[in-house]
Chain A
Amino acid sequence: MNKLKGWLALVLLLLSWCALYWITGSRTPWNQFHVNNDGSGVSVYLGDIPTQNYDRMGFTKAVVRYAAEEEGWIVGTERGELFLFDNEGRQKWKRSLGIGKLIALCLTPDGKLAIVGEQSAEGKLYAVDVHTGDIRWQYKSADFVGSDASQRSYPSVVHIAVDKENNVYANAYRFLMRKDGSRGYNAKMLAVNEEGKLLWQFPKNEVIDSWINWCDVNDNNGRAVFSTSAYDYREDMKYKDTMYFLDKRTGELLNSTHVPPIPPFDNTVMRGSPNFSADGKYLAAAASDGRGMLFNEAGRTLWMRSISKPQQVDGTYVNASGRDGFVTPYGVLFTTINTFNRENWQLPTPVEHPSNNSIFVFNTDGTFRYQYMADGTMEEIAFAGRLAACAVGRNVRTHNYKAHGALVLDLETGKKYSYFPTEGPCQAIGISPDGQWLAGVEAPALTPDGKIIGAYRLHIWKNNAGGAK
């Protein structure tokens, strides 16, 4: 009997050796019989981050862009880490850029530099070599808009745009809540060339006393534009207009446009727009009050459409803010986010706004083409030919956790092309120019019933698009 036990131990050791070979391999036992046709793709864990409440306003962020030169994905995280992954999810390089959160990312047209914006005590703007991961140059936005650690007022590079000459245009901004409850804003738009030389800053000798969130630049009309995003409107503010147009070479102010607000709003706010058309003739913008607008290159209104009109229900206004605005060859596209209570966005709403979480597409003459409604907020949109990839995140009204994922729309037909679900909200998205590859970053979230869903991870999916162009 003892002899048998000894031999049994040896057999078990042999079996354990086989099991360990299996477990330590790339195709682990739990994936061995798993047929990869459910769109699960490759997923890569991006590290531990604090799990935010599902209903929180400022939620977990990440940025992801396709690096065509490297045939991979540049990913920036809340941990201040920048990665390059290939399409199989293998890490090509990783570098830590500090303790800040990486919140803006843009690749130069030649694909050689990744321009990264962070939110931190210094709010740095980095240019990183896509091939090696080396920092080519960096600027501290704190040097331009200041920083006040005692008030927890930290600068951020909130948005970056690049032109065809690889010049970088970035919005630097910081917000300050004063002791008397009033809000202060310090903002500047910076232009830097690919060698890291500061071309100009706007304004030159002061800061913009409003929140600026978005900017765009166009080579055909030679203009750079930024929009203001402050909800509060005071007569003593200097930068009260909605959009400011600058000469992209000199940074001189060419003109500005004021879009009159509509009730119940005090100001017209643009958070994820405007964006020029490729030819530079048009400019599309969505306002938080639910209007989609098309302007000419100088900011003259061509048409304006109400895509989600604020509705008064039980004495309070319920609205679904407009956010993105793009001019594509397949139409002018606007998006709306979750339904919110105008009085306080955290308060519940009796109903969902019928236009929330949607994409609206119009022809350039203003005729309506279609609306596509997702089950959650489209956190980000990326384009590849006729495909629009949308990161579908939270729906804080319905708490529909099955809504999360990457949604690909066919802009020509307005129909769903493909869908890749994620457990947690999908917060960022990127698509390869041929539409074959898709990458999204999922964030963990703490649901109101105390359950953690999802994790901070990158997903890479094969889209099987074919004919995206």
Chain B
Amino acid sequence: MSVRQLWEGTDAAGWAQKLNGRTKLLFLFLFAILMITVDNPRTLFILFTFTLLLHLAAKTSIYKWKVMAILLLLGLWGSMFSQALFFAQTPRTPLLVLIAPEAGFIGQLTGGLFIYREGILYGAVQGLRSASMLALGLLVCWTSDPRQLLQALLAWRLPPQLAFMLVTAIRFLPVLAAETGEVITALQLRSDSQSGRTAVLRHLPYIAKPLLARCLRRAQTLALSVVSRGFFAGGAAKRRQQWDAREKASCLLLFLVVVVVVGSKIIYLLSEQGFYFGVFRQIYDWTVLYL
């Protein structure tokens, strides 16, 4: 699979590709709100699992799964390790002593280095938030044609110029990745040493110029194409895709869930500030236990 294919929605299951762009964008937006609002580790874990299940249902290819796994692992464990080491809140319980405070100069300098129990959990919570959004973002990216997203943005009466720029920016990422790959391959082939034929890092400082030149060329072609087709003459906004009623209902349902979750959280936070009402006790309990 080429670098470009990796970032394009070409091999997803039919239902995922057919979904309206509005559904996908709304789902992404509402899910992001949920991720920010929810603090309960187990609920976040369930939401994360849900995003992985969506990938399974969308039949994400094994190659893409591998790439996603690497990205998720880096985010999750990076967050957990860093928080486990540098967790600054209280209480914090050392699980493991890496450098004892009494261990000579390094011990005195660092004041000891520990793996904190509470830090692992805190890191997991933060990691799950970013991992869930990454997984869902990749799902949208891998199952969507940029035209879908463009039409969705136009349907929401976003100015065509703005919508086009936004989608072009998203669309350009895989193109940019593919171009970078090609430039690096060219630099490797031009290398005069055996090690240079396989190295990547050493060529990185030299990719900027050719990449910029290619980008400018593409941008010029794109601009000509858009103008010659009369994209901004009003035609774009008229070509609207029908939004399926079931999808609308699903979005509405998710919206209601998010409203309930955010509302519960706000009511609970207000109770902590003194605006406490006994009739909301079930909501407080529910919020503490699950949100």
Return the chain A residue nearest B279 by Cβ. A132
Chain A interface, DSSP helix/strand/loop, else mixed: mixed
Segment at the A interface, from B6-14, B39-47, B245-253, B255-263: B39-47
B228 at interface, CB cutoff 8 A: no
Kindly identify, within residues 38 to 62 of chain B, every residue whose CB is under 8 Å from any CB belonging to chain A. Answer: 41-42, 44-45, 48-49, 52, 62
A233 at interface, CB cutoff 8 A: no
| A462–B131 CA distance with the chains assembled, in angstroms | 40
Other-chain contact of A24, B44, B276, B288 (Cβ < 8 Å): B44
B289 at interface, CB cutoff 8 A: yes
| A93–B285 CA distance with the chains assembled, in angstroms | 6
B76 at interface, CB cutoff 8 A: yes
Chain B contacts for A16, CB-based, 8 A: 72-73, 76-77
B169 at interface, CB cutoff 8 A: no
B156 at interface, CB cutoff 8 A: no
Total chain A interface residues with beta-carbon distance under 8 A = 37
Known A-B contacts A30-B117, A96-B271; the reply to A17 vs B49 at CB < 8 A is yes
* Chain B 67-108 per-residue mask, 1 if CB under 8 angstroms from chain A, else 0: 001101100110000000000011100010000000000000
Return the chain A residue nearest B49 by Cβ. A17
| A136–B285 CA distance with the chains assembled, in angstroms | 20
B136 at interface, CB cutoff 8 A: no
B124 at interface, CB cutoff 8 A: yes
Chain B interface, DSSP helix/strand/loop, else mixed: helix
B192 at interface, CB cutoff 8 A: no
| A356–B117 CA distance with the chains assembled, in angstroms | 38
Total chain B interface residues with beta-carbon distance under 8 A = 39
| A16–B278 CA distance with the chains assembled, in angstroms | 41
Other-chain contact of A94, B52, B70, B120, B271 (Cβ < 8 Å): B271
A457 at interface, CB cutoff 8 A: yes
Chain B contacts for A97, CB-based, 8 A: 274
Verify B121–A133 contact, CB threshold 8 A: no
A444 at interface, CB cutoff 8 A: yes
A313 at interface, CB cutoff 8 A: no
Verify A132–B278 contact, CB threshold 8 A: yes
Known A-B contacts A6-B63, A9-B70; the reply to A23 vs B272 at CB < 8 A is no
Kindly identify, within residues 107 to 160 of chain B, every residue whose CB is under 8 Å from any CB belonging to chain A. Answer: 117, 120-121, 124, 128
CB distance from B287 to the nearest CB of A (A): 10
Contacts A81-B272, A133-B276 known; 6 new A-B pairs at CB < 8 A: A9-B70, A13-B69, A21-B45, A25-B42, A93-B281, A96-B273
